[in-house]
């Protein structure tokens, strides 16, 4: 697979990454007395964070977005399952080089990155200690995600923690699009859609508290011949995108390449994936064919 290659740190990249350094802001200390370690946790030397900081807040955003957290009881055995699932092409590099390292830094957990039979990229593992910590201490609800809330420890934290959480949620569940104006797709819109009303309400309040101008509403969406509830939030315009990149930003190369291509060309070609956008950034707007990718089941 051809993946996103690092670019020179020019003025454009410095704008993107200016505030993405994860400053260690210790907002609160956890009471870890109820966290239990399984034998595998002990043998694997799993560690649990003692403080809420920007790295953990970012992971919590990812967990709300792409994460799966489930306690599964089978007879006399119990599995504490944690999984992350993303786009097999656009998010492979981010999973492999960033999310994998983040789990190692936070929990000392070694994980593998796989491509599933559905062609999504996945990280999945079991850990009793990490499960209990995310669920009880961090306030992440178990799957399925029907009544998701932004955890109270995020809502009551300072702006640095809120921004880190929001960056993690945006990297997984937001989209950066460029709407057509006249003939080309150049008008920026940061878009968030969910079928969960409680998450929609919490995210809306969080964005407003950070000074973003938003448009939000509810609509019915049609998917797989079924009608679904859809709650959306949009942050539109160049000034709001500039504010986002300055104060929140993205870690995911999927979003970053969309932004950089738009900066380079003044618009974003329709239907490009991360491989094609990387080629545009290196060679210009002409795009070649994609290489075939092996499946790992």
Within 10 A of 127 (CB to CB), how many other CB atoms are there? 23
pLDDT tens string 228-287: 778 999 999 999 999 999 999 999 999 999 999 999 999 999 889 999 999 999 987 654
Return the domain boundaries, the chain: 11-283
State the residue for tokens 């492999």: 96
pLDDT tens string 4-27: 444 443 444 444 444 444 444 455
For the cut 50, the answer to whether the pLDDT of residue 227 exceeds it is: yes
Q: Are strands 184-194 and 226-236 parallel, antiparallel or unpaired?
A: antiparallel
pLDDT tens string 38-85: 999 999 999 999 999 999 999 999 999 999 999 999 888 899 999 999
Of 142, 127, 261, 240, which is closest to residue 190 (Cα–Cα)? 240
Q: What is the enclosing helix (H) or strand (E) of 187?
A: strand 184-194
Helices marked H in 24-155: 39-43, 54-66, 92-94, 100-107, 128-132, 152-155
Contact assessment for residue 46 and residue 127, using Cβ atoms and an 8 Å cutoff: yes
Task: Provide the whole-model pTM.
Answer: 0.85
State the residue for tokens 């797989």: 224
Integer Cα distance of 132 and 32 in angstroms: 10
In words, the CATH class of domain 11-283 is: alpha beta
Contact assessment for residue 82 and residue 75, using Cβ atoms and an 8 Å cutoff: no
DSSP code, position 156:
T
Contact assessment for residue 234 and residue 189, using Cβ atoms and an 8 Å cutoff: yes
Q: How far is CA 151 from the centre of its chain?
A: 16
């Amino acid at each position: 697979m051809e993946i996103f290659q690092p670019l020179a740190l020019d003025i454009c990249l410095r704008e993107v990454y200016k505030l993405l350094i994860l400053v260690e802001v210790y907002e609160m200390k956890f009471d870890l007395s109820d966290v239990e370690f399984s034998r595998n946790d002990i043998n694997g030397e799993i560690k649990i964070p003692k403080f809420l900081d920007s790295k953990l807040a970012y992971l919590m955003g990812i967990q709300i977005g792409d994460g799966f957290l489930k306690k599964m009881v089978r007879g006399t055995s119990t599995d504490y399952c944690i999984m992350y699932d993303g786009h097999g092409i656009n998010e492979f590099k981010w999973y492999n080089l960033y999310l994998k390292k983040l789990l190692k830094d936070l929990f000392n957990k070694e994980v593998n990155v796989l491509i599933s039979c559905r062609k999504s990229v996945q990280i999945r593992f079991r850990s009793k200690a990490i499960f209990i910590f995310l669920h009880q201490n961090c306030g992440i609800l178990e799957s399925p995600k029907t009544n998701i809330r932004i955890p109270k420890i995020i809502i009551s934290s300072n702006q640095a923690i809120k921004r880190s959480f929001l960056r993690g949620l945006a990297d997984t569940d937001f989209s950066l699009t460029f709407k057509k104006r006249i003939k080309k797709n150049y008008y920026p819109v940061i878009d968030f859609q969910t079928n969960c009303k409680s998450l929609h309400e919490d995210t809306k309040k969080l964005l407003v508290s950070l000074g973003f101008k938003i448009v939000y509403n509810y609509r019915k969406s049609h998917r797989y011949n079924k009608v679904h509830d859809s709650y959306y939030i949009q942050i539109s315009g160049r000034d709001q995108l500039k504010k986002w990149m300055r104060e929140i930003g993205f870690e995911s190369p999927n979003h970053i390449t969309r932004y950089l291509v738009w900066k380079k060309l003044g618009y974003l070609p329709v239907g490009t994936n991360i491989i094609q956008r990387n080629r545009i950034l290196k060679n210009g707007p002409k795009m070649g064919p994609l290489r075939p990718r092996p499946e790992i089941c």
